[in-house]
Amino acid sequence: MLSGFGQLAAQPTQPLPQLIIIIDDIGNNYQLGKRIVDLPAPMTLAFLPHTPFAAKLAEQSYLSGKDNILHAPMENTVAAPLGPGALTQDMNQQAFTSTLNTSIAAIPHIQGINNHMGSALTQLPEPMNWVMDTLKQHQLYFIDSLTTSQSVGFELAKQHDIPVLKRDVFLDNDVSAEALEKQWQQAVRLARKRGHAVLIGHPYKETSAFLQQAIPELENVELITAADFLLRQAWQAFASNEALPYNRYWLNQHKKTQRIDNNKNQKQSQYDATLISQLP
């Protein structure tokens, strides 16, 4: 229990290794998306624009304290179908930007974007510069899913001073139990070695079941959303400032936890009230 700023200030100066879990491709299937939303851990969920359940699941995701990002479909090299909101290299700047703006507007409580597919488009500086200009206008972060090693996304985001991360490990290209465990351990090892790792998975039932058991067993690694990770990096510039009795980052985190708890309690009391009103 936190009782004052003193304890907030006492947060570790040597942070735990951090793992950023991103789940892509949410929005087409409610049940599979809901299993991910219901995982009790800080995660970043990437919603496909204009899909039947993206907005509803994004509202629930927000209330559970997760990050919502747009999973922006971008042209790939194998002509796989991209679905609504696709960004392709044959678009002019106006069509490209207006498609991206419309997709951004479709995701409630959006904080950033990452690319769905994109092995062709993310190699091209011109359209990726249009992406970064748009993100800057909306103050959104970028996560390069790195579907090709030739992607210019990460570098261009840096040039535009946009908060940015890139994918380190894909969790579930193979959903066998052994493969999931192997990829998970690879991400955890990288986090321990480098300080953080970015793991991308999908809302497959095998992945949800795996995370359900793997997350509670994680020891001495902190799960963190992409926005919190990026924000905390920025706040670390103040770490040496001894003048303040607290760090405002931790103070805001504390308030956020309270907000999520209040929301849960409120829902419970509404539920209780409904039950009581139905009593004979």
Binding site for Zn ion (CB under 5 A): 24-25, 116
Cβ-count burial 190-199 (b if 16+ within 10 Å, e if not): bbeeeebbbb
Q: Are 171 and 199 in contact (CB under 8 A)?
A: yes
**Minimum Å distance from CB 48 to Zn ion?**
7
In the bound state with Zn ion, the residue whose beta carbon lies nearer, of 18 and 207, is 207
What's the token pair of residue 8?
Answer: 């907030």
In whole angstroms, the minimum distance from the beta carbon of 202 to Zn ion comes to 7
**What is the identity of the amino acid at 14?**
Q
Closer to Zn ion by Cβ: residue 24 or 172: 24
* Residue number with CB closer to Zn ion (111 or 119): 119
* Smaller CB separation from Zn ion, 66 or 116: 116
Residue identified by tokens 């359940």 is: 53
From the CB of 273, what's the least distance to Zn ion, in Å?
A: 41
Q: Shortest approach of Zn ion to residue 272 CB, angstroms?
A: 40
Nearer to Zn ion (CB atom), residue 25 or residue 67:
25
Minimum distance of Zn ion from residue 117's CB (angstroms): 6
Closest to Zn ion by CB, 116 vs 196, is 116
As measured in angstroms, the least distance from the Cβ of 22 to Zn ion is 10
- Indicate the residue whose CB is closest to Zn ion: 116
Q: How far apart are CB 24 and Zn ion at their closest, in Å?
A: 4
Nearer to Zn ion, 24 or 67 (CB): 24
